[in-house]
Structure 1
Amino acid sequence: MSLHRTRLIAALDTPSYDQASHWASELEGRVDAIKLGLEFTYACGLDAVKKLSARQELFLDLKLHDIPNTVASGLKALTPIHPALMTIHALGGPEMISRSRAVLEESFREQAKRPRLLAVTVLTSMSEKCLAEVGINATPLEEVVRLGRMAIRAGADGLVCSAHELVALREALGDGPELIVPGIRPAGSSTDDQKRIMTPSQAAQAGADWIVVGRPITRAENPAAAAQAIQDELRAVTA
């Protein structure tokens, strides 16, 4: 049995600082990182993001996608927050990704402290039908592997992908890239708007480095207990 430990990120998806702060406090020590994304950042601002993440590792999930210079400048403006993980869209292309990596290396001279740059491949809400509707004539798996290869070559540290693409990505890219998996739902949870999902233990067995869990934790009657149950499930995989 592999000794690889899959780590847990709690997605704090809310426009309310008080609500996010309450969740973060409840979950401190129960999760390995918190995720703050577009909803919270747009509603509360970057100072709130920095304040809320001061005591925990941060996955700053803003999925930047623009011309290379604009994305690089945006990432540089975000560096005072010191996130552990940051996201850009792989569809921005190799130059955008390489410029993003370069600006992070400039801003964080000590490599251990540099945020890991993650490329988002295919959103977990996207089915093959959805891809066809935007002109991509490939299955989600084919498109994820294609974008993943390009993104890692261009300088991304890892990828955001569905758990169902983990095995194919490991076969294509090896053990080096860090793979972060949203769309994780404990057994019996609602799938909400996610199309390509797995349970925590299934994702761990498939080789995820991190899993992202939102509503099954934050909407639970006891979020800390829900997070702890997921951690126990993850640890059982490597026991």
Structure 2
Amino acid sequence: MSLRDKLIVALDLPGVDDAEALTRRCGDAVSFYKIGLQLLPVGGMDLNERLRAAGKKVFLDFKLHDIPATVEKATRSIASRGGDLLTVHAEPAVMRAAVAGRGDDPDLKLLGVTVLTAYDDAMLTEMGYAFGTRDLVMRRVEQALDCGMDGVVASPLEAAEIRERFGGGFLIVTPGIRPAGADAGDQKRVATPGDALKAGSTHLVVGRPVNAAEDPAEAARDIIAEMEAV
């Protein structure tokens, strides 16, 4: 896998016109994009198909979470439209349903979302969890692999321990990536691109440092240069 394919640029923008304008500005500097819930109801799946037809890869970050029957049907519907990565919340019944809905599609890889990078221990306590961030992440990684998922979404701060405890052979997609010197924004658990790769992440999700940059293509190339350094 090339380093360019390890960088996923988040299309967290108001509409598909804005998103497509960003992809044009990025040009060949970016080969992988994330479409999330913001774009889903305003043409996100159509955009997914156009990007893939143009030779790009697409991470469908929908974080499916519902009763198993609904998740299974939703995953089947998404698989019928195509995609490269799809997220569901890392609860065993939800993940098993997604695996069943994906069927034999060899292209769509399923990722279990462990703990959102905007959460910290205090927020988990407020939500009623008995586990802290680290322990909950490790429990959910183990469950994801047992359920047949292709990988997990986890912060770069947990990636090294995940690799140490569970080995290789699966994807670790890490949001909360900030180039050296960039503002963390609303993210609680962040790391630089180089640190995330050294920790064992396979894909790095970057939003504002690219999509809000004056020159998104240059910003993406700078991040890839940081990745090359390690």
Which of the five TM-score ranges fits, normalised by the shorter chain? over 0.9
Partner of 2:86: 86
Partner of 1:65: 65
Question: For the residues of structure 1 that align with 2:130 and 2:97, how far apart are their CA atoms?
Answer: 28
Structure 2 matches for 1:1-239, cutoff 5 A?
A: 7-55=6-54, 56-90=56-90, 93-106=91-104, 108=105, 111=106, 114-237=107-230
State the 1:188 CA deviation. 1.5
Structure 1 residues without counterparts, runs of 5 or longer: none
Question: For the residues of structure 2 that align with 1:31 and 1:152, how far apart are their CA atoms?
Answer: 29
Question: For the residues of structure 2 that align with 1:211 and 1:134, how far apart are their CA atoms?
Answer: 27
Question: For the residues of structure 1 that align with 2:121 and 2:148, how far apart are their CA atoms?
Answer: 27
State the 1:47 CA deviation. 2.2
Question: For the residues of structure 1 that align with 2:9 and 2:2, how far apart are their CA atoms?
Answer: 20
Question: For the residues of structure 2 that align with 1:225 and 1:122, how far apart are their CA atoms?
Answer: 31
Moved over 3 A (4+): 3-6
The amino acid across from 1:21 in the alignment is E
Deviations 1:211-230 (A, max 9, x none): 00010001111000000011
SS of the counterpart of 1:138?
coil
Deviations 1:33-68 (A, max 9, x none): 100100011233532332244321000000000111
SS of the counterpart of 1:66?
coil
SS of the counterpart of 1:183?
coil
Give the structure-1-normalised TM-score.
0.90
State the 1:208 CA deviation. 0.7
State the 1:4 CA deviation. 9.0
The alignment of Structure 1 onto Structure 2 pairs a total of residues equal to: 228
The amino acid across from 2:40 in the alignment is T
State the 1:28 CA deviation. 3.3
**Counterparts in 2 of 1:163 and 1:231: CA distance versus 1, 3 Å:** same
Question: For the residues of structure 2 that align with 1:226 and 1:234, how far apart are their CA atoms?
Answer: 13
Give the structure-2-normalised TM-score.
0.94
The amino acid across from 1:203 in the alignment is A
RMSD: 1.7
Contact 1:85 1:117 in 2 (8 A): yes
Sequence identity (%):
38
Structure 2 residues without counterparts, runs of 5 or longer: none
The amino acid across from 1:72 in the alignment is E
Contact 2:16 2:44 in 1 (8 A): no
Deviations 1:185-235 (A, max 9, x none): 011211111000001111111111000001000111100000001111112
Contact 1:185 1:199 in 2 (8 A): yes
Deviations 1:131-172 (A, max 9, x none): 001111222111100111011101111000000000111122
